[in-house]
Amino acid sequence: MSVIFVVKLKVKCVISVLVAKGTSKTFIVFGLGTVAQVVTGNGVFGEYFSINVGFGLSVAMGVHVGGKVSGAHMNAAVSFTMCVFGRLRWKMFPLYVFAQFLGSFLAAGTIFLLYYDAIHHYCGGNFTVSGPKATAGIFATYPAPFISIYTGFFDQVLGTAMLLLCLMALADQRNQPVVPRGEPVGVGLLVLLIGVSLGSNSGYAINPTRDLGPRVFTLMAGWGMDVFSHYPCNLWFEFLIFTIIKSDL
C-alpha cells in the first residue's frame, strides 16, 4: 500500500467526518429554529405541525448537503445499523458519532444565540425544563408528563425501528427505491411522517446524537442538571436503542 494511497484515504476519512458534522449542524439548526419560533412566538409563528414540517425539510437539506460525500450520516442509530450491515466501516462509527454530537451541540449554540432575546423575553430569564414557560424543549426532547416508562420505552423503540426499516427500503435497489436524486425528498417525507404519527409522546426522539448534543449544551447554558434528571427515563431510552437494534439485527 503506497504512502500516497494511505494519505488519500486518511484525507477522505477526515473530509467525510467534517461533512458529517456540517450536515448534522445544518439539519439541527433548521429543526431547532423551527421549535424556537413556535415556542417563543406563543403559536403566532407556527404550531406542532410546523415543527414536523421543519424537521422533515431540515433532514432533506441535510441529505442534500452531505449525501454524496459522507452518506449524510446525521443519526447515530442509522450509522450503527450501516456498520452492522457492512455499509460503513466500524472504525468510522465513533468518528461519525462524535461529528454528529459536535454538529448538534454547535447547532444548539447557534440557535441559542439567535433566539436568546426571544427566549429571555418568553420566560423572563428563568430557564426551566417543565412548567408553562419551559424552554428546554426547544433544544432536546422530553416525554409528556403523563407518559409511563413502559410507554416511553416502546415509543422510542418503535419510532427508531420504523425509521430504520423505511430507510433501508428506500435504499433497496431490489425493491422500489426512490427515483435518482430523490433521496432527500424521500427521507424528509419519512421524518415528517414519523413526526405526525408517532411524535406526540416524546417528540419522536429517534436520533440519540441530535438529542444528546443540545441537551449537554442546555446543561452548560443555564438549565442545569434538570435536563438530565427531571425526566430520568428519557435519557436511558436514547442509549437503550443501541442495544435493542443490535440484538434485533
- pLDDT averaged over every residue in the chain: 80
pLDDT in tens, 104-133: 999 999 999 999 999 999 999 999 998 899
The Cα 49–Cα 188 span in angstroms is 14
The Cα 13–Cα 235 span in angstroms is 30
User: Percent of the chain beyond pLDDT 70?
Assistant: 79
Residue 2, by phi and psi: left (phi above 0), alpha (psi -120 to 50) or beta?
Answer: beta
CB 164, CB 81: distance < 8 Å:
yes
The mean per-residue pLDDT over the stretch 167-194 comes to 84
Q: Which CATH class is domain 3-248?
A: mainly alpha
3 state DSSP class of 42: coil
Q: Where are the domains of the chain?
A: 3-248
The Cβ of residue 204 has, within 10 Å, a number of other Cβ atoms equal to 24
- Identify which of 98, 101, 99, 76 has the alpha carbon closest to the alpha carbon of residue 88: 76
The Cα 86–Cα 90 span in angstroms is 8
Name the band, by pLDDT with cuts 50, 70 and 90, for residue 7. Answer: very low
The mean per-residue pLDDT over the stretch 134-145 comes to 91
| Global pTM value | 0.84
